[in-house]
Chain A
């Protein structure tokens, strides 16, 4: 029988730390729950999770067809540009939109048993990571078709992806808590994301936008996207974007942790 011991009403910083540690350590449970989630999403389909790959490929294809006449870049470059950029964008938006609902959707579980909040974040993260892996099939496929040979700099993209995961993990806490308390936040975030999709260089090249290029430095989404795409696509590491992403990777976890310490025992009353 699993031995348990807990105290209520003690140091909240400590309790938040315990939440994260126990949440991570129960990986058997969150892996199973994530698998169940994915199974549920594609239940009774013939190709299952490959639908993710298919819809991603379709979207990239249409974007390339429509937008390549507007650009003077060659089609091999532009196709991979869109594919890698949209891949990164999909992961970023998944982190944000899933983050908004992570605790709201877990209400049933949270009211049934004492479980660490981190557990639900892990379920959501795991699910997104698996689905994103299926999107990556398209990226790899297109790079192979167009003979885009990644250089050693591509490893940098891998590092950036790790930073994406850390930021996404933190965003789940931040947005999950804010959205549980103030339900307007989820709608606001949705609205912002819809706008940012067009303001982020996914299917257009910054160089062709003239003066708009200058304002791009204020768009954190652009920095995240560029810092992942450019090393993989061109082999060039964009250091200024890297600095921005790193700052987020330091700031967001700290913010997330203190928010968790504050909201951990309150959140159940907000659901």
Chain B
């Protein structure tokens, strides 16, 4: 029933109000982020996705990995239909629920109940349908009378409960998640996880962007690795993870030459000698200090004796 078909999707964000480029060209950054393309006529854009193609069918659980700014969230938003690429085609069949924005669209001045209603209408349900689902959602949030109050009166955790309930109340064929969701205190956490797990299990397709490989292994049966907006790998979870770990492992230090080893040994010896010298100095200093103290003591005693002597002499006369 659910299906996703992407064909050479390329998407770039225009940079408005940012620094103007000096010359046309592409700059490849070494850190996080995607390629910045400087076009003609002083326009600048970030190439967030470049030539992405893949198909997903019912039962596919696709994990997305890649470092910050590699295009994971952008790709999820393309599939949610929020960003429309100017190049390439996408065909999405099925109701999409994007759980990447828990919190967007919650009115703080509106009551909990009305917020649930608006979320439902937003998801495409009729007023009657949402009304029918209301008791179940209210019971899940477990916010009692607070649901009649504006969200402004909620604590942060309570607001999170409501947002989580709104985001997960309405079933979807395709679920898009930017990091696995969690919310609330320990008593709510367990309930939230069960609900999310059920929602994910019921959905036709799941797409989950995460940096947590354990979560990916647990929830996904396919994996895509995005690197600077390009699809670097796509396939079985373990295969892609192995390839990813292999490719991103920091390079091993080069083998040392005999000369280097000798140099290092010399350096270590020098440091050790230095340390020994300092220890020796400290010992000598301590001895000196002790001697000084003894001398001071002797002087003080001598003075005292002299004073006593004069005192005695005074009293006798």
Contacts and interface: CB of A to CB of B under 8 A. Distances in A.
Interface string B4-31: 0000000001101000000000000000
Given A1-B173, A3-B95, A113-B105, A9 B89 contact: yes
Interface in A1-15: 1-10
Contacts of A39: 109-110
Contact of B82 (A2, A36, A268): A268
Interface in B47-93: 77-78, 80-93
Interface string A237-271: 00000000000000000000000000011101110
B104 A109 contact: yes
A111 B118 contact: no
A112 B101 contact: yes
Contacts of B157: none
A40 interface: yes
A111 B82 CA distance: 6
A43 B95 CA distance: 35
A20 to B, nearest CB: 16
A8 B124 contact: no
Contacts of A40: 107, 109-110
Interface residues of A, number: 34
A221 to B, nearest CB: 31
B126 interface: yes
A147 B172 CA distance: 60
Interface string A28-55: 1100110010011001000000000000
A114 interface: yes
A26 B124 CA distance: 8
B32 interface: no
A112 B98 contact: yes
Given A4-B94, A8-B81, A36 B110 contact: yes
Contacts of B171: 1
Contacts of B96: 4, 114
A46 to B, nearest CB: 17
Nearest to B46: A269
Given A32-B118, A36-B114, A111-B101, A265 B84 contact: yes
Nearest to A4: B95
Contact of B104 (A112, A268, A269): A112
A266 B105 CA distance: 21
A110 interface: yes
Nearest to B13: A269
Interface string A77-109: 000000000000000000000000000000011
Contact of B93 (A5, A36, A181): A5
Given A4-B96, A8-B84, A9-B90, A108 B105 contact: yes
Contacts of B83: 265, 268-269
A2 B125 contact: yes
A130 interface: no
B87 A9 contact: yes
Given A28-B127, A43-B109, A113 B89 contact: no
B123 A269 contact: no
A8 B104 contact: no
B269 interface: no
B309 interface: no
Nearest to B83: A268
B81 A114 contact: yes
A21 B150 CA distance: 33
A2 B95 contact: yes
A115 interface: yes
Interface in B219-261: none
A268 B78 CA distance: 12
Contacts of A109: 104-105, 122
A28 B95 CA distance: 19
A36 B84 contact: no
B110 to A, nearest CB: 6
A52 B20 CA distance: 46
A6 B92 contact: yes
Nearest to A30: B121
Nearest to B7: A9
A36 B117 CA distance: 11
Contacts of B93: 4-5
Nearest to B6: A8
Interface string B277-299: 00000000000000000000000
A264 B83 CA distance: 10
B98 A28 contact: no
Contacts of A2: 95, 123-125
Given A7-B90, A113-B105, A29 B82 contact: no
12 contacts: A2-B124, A3-B94, A4-B124, A7-B92, A8-B89, A9-B85, A10-B89, A32-B118, A113-B80, A113-B82, A115-B122, A269-B83
Given A6-B81, A7-B92, 10 more contacts: A1-B173, A3-B94, A8-B81, A9-B88, A28-B127, A32-B117, A112-B101, A268-B84, A269-B13, A270-B16
Task: Give the 9 A-B residue pairs with the shortest CB-CB distance, closest first.
Answer: A2-B124, A114-B81, A265-B84, A112-B104, A8-B90, A9-B89, A112-B101, A29-B121, A4-B95
